[in-house]
Structure 1
Amino acid sequence: MTTAGKQDVVELLLDQHNQIKSLFSRVATEPQGAQKRELFEQLVHLLAVHETAEEEVVHPYARRKIEAGEQVVERRQHEEDKAKRELAALYDMGVDHPDFNAKLQTFSEEVLQHANREESEEFARLRQTASQDQLTRMAGAVRAAEATAPTRPHPHSGESATANLVAGPPLAVFDRARDAVRDWRQKQGSE
């Protein structure tokens, strides 16, 4: 692996896929309570910013440049739209709900299948199509997109790059303000 500054977009996204897999496992095995909720919030945040960045940076490039890009991206975006709705439902349900673990397991399997398809169908073709310099620059663009992405799913905001660029920053500000209030409340409760 390369350093963060030289990491290419495929390496960055693969690292995030591994983090997502790890968080799914940790959330699933954690008993109910504050630690489970915190891990789930980390997972929600990572999934939200990861998918937004893919929709803004990776998918538009893949759609234009890789073989059968239009079909590959359409399938991935359909899966991502479904995942946003399911993640929002899980988030609303909360980790203490009796059905949470079963629904999380089903959701986890779907997300990991999606990640495997991305890796084999989209990321592998990116490596074949883009130069190393392009891949490295795309990683920088993904990091920038993640910095302004919403921190939770907003399934009705759309899954296109345009929808994310228009709705994403205001939603991100709102989400980050909610996150700050939530964190403050949790801190006040622990003192």
Structure 2
Amino acid sequence: MTATKPDQDVIDLLVDQHEQIRSLFAEVRESEGEAKQQAFQDLVRLLAVHESAEEQVVHPAARADAGDAVVDARLREESEAKRELSELYEMGTSAPGFDARFAAFEQAVLDHARHEEQEEFPQLRRDTDPQRLRQMAGAVRAAEAISPTRPHPAAGESPVSNMLLGPPVAVFDRMRDAVRDWRQSHDSEHQSHGR
């Protein structure tokens, strides 16, 4: 997924993911058959990592800086995107009507990313300590670490494979839990070191 740069902050990391998401949308649009299905699955995984990190780490931090209205609007957009993604998943990439619905979904997700980049991220960068922004990137990296780009055929029924399989809502829930667990353990470490 995202190239690892240890000094990269969470905003730069999420903007890089926005670019990857744009590329995956194009790949789904331009592919057919199994390649289209695989690109769609890759998109689901990346959106799960991305939105889980935003929901658990970025939006709570941005609420104080960007305000409730901005963050609540992003959360509504994400909720609608998850619902639409689930419906697309149920349809299947080869279903009649998939491409038209997928195009509308793509536009909504790209609008959401633009809103984040223009409304939420600049205020977060301005009002948050740069070291804290780099620490927040750890949650995104933790989610990426358990979300391989493509499951290895020999992975079988491993916990990671199971985390990445199933309807998008289940994948999103499992990724959100993984990010939350990382954040809680990371916050505990900082509290114990601060004593």
> TM range, normalised to the smaller chain?
0.7 to 0.9
> How far, CA to CA, are the matches of 2:24 and 2:130 in structure 1?
30
Task: Identify which range, 106-115 or 140-149, moves more after superposition.
Answer: 140-149
The match for 1:127 among 82, 103, 125 is 125
In the alignment, is residue 153 of structure 1 matched against residue 165 of structure 2? no
For structure 2, which runs of at least 5 residues remain unmatched after alignment? 148-162, 182-195
> How far, CA to CA, are the matches of 2:69 and 2:144 in structure 1?
25
Residue of structure 1 equivalent to 2:45:
45
Residue of structure 2 equivalent to 1:136:
134
* Displacement of 1:46: 0.5
Sequence identity, in percent? 49
Q: Is the 8 A contact 1:57 1:138 kept in 2?
A: yes
> How far, CA to CA, are the matches of 2:144 and 2:70 in structure 1?
22
Residue of structure 2 equivalent to 1:95:
93
> How far, CA to CA, are the matches of 1:46 and 1:22 in structure 2?
11
In the alignment, is residue 7 of structure 1 matched against residue 8 of structure 2? yes
| AA matched with 1:28 | R
Let me know the Cα RMSD of the aligned residues.
2.6
DSSP-derived class of the 1:61 partner: helix
| AA matched with 1:114 | H
> How far, CA to CA, are the matches of 1:153 and 1:137 in structure 2?
27
**Deviation beyond 3 Å, 4+ runs, structure 1:** 145-152
* Displacement of 1:147: 4.8
Residue of structure 2 equivalent to 1:25:
26
Number of positions where the alignment pairs a residue of Structure 1 with one of Structure 2? 160
Change in CA separation of 1:127 and 1:76 when aligned onto 2, cut-off 3 Å: same
> How far, CA to CA, are the matches of 1:25 and 1:165 in structure 2?
29
Change in CA separation of 1:71 and 1:147 when aligned onto 2, cut-off 3 Å: farther
DSSP-derived class of the 1:43 partner: helix
* Displacement of 1:129: 0.7
| AA matched with 2:73 | R
TM-score when normalising by structure 1 = 0.75
Change in CA separation of 1:13 and 1:75 when aligned onto 2, cut-off 3 Å: same
DSSP-derived class of the 1:154 partner: helix
| AA matched with 1:36 | K
DSSP-derived class of the 1:97 partner: coil
Q: Is the 8 A contact 1:56 1:145 kept in 2?
A: no
* Displacement of 1:48: 1.3
For structure 1, which runs of at least 5 residues remain unmatched after alignment? 159-163, 170-191
> How far, CA to CA, are the matches of 1:7 and 1:54 in structure 2?
16
Deviations 1:118-159 (Å, cap 9, x if unpaired)? 11111111111112111101101222245568645328x88x
> How far, CA to CA, are the matches of 2:142 and 2:57 in structure 1?
10
TM-score when normalising by structure 2 = 0.74
Q: Is the 8 A contact 2:49 2:140 kept in 1?
A: no
> How far, CA to CA, are the matches of 1:50 and 1:131 in structure 2?
21
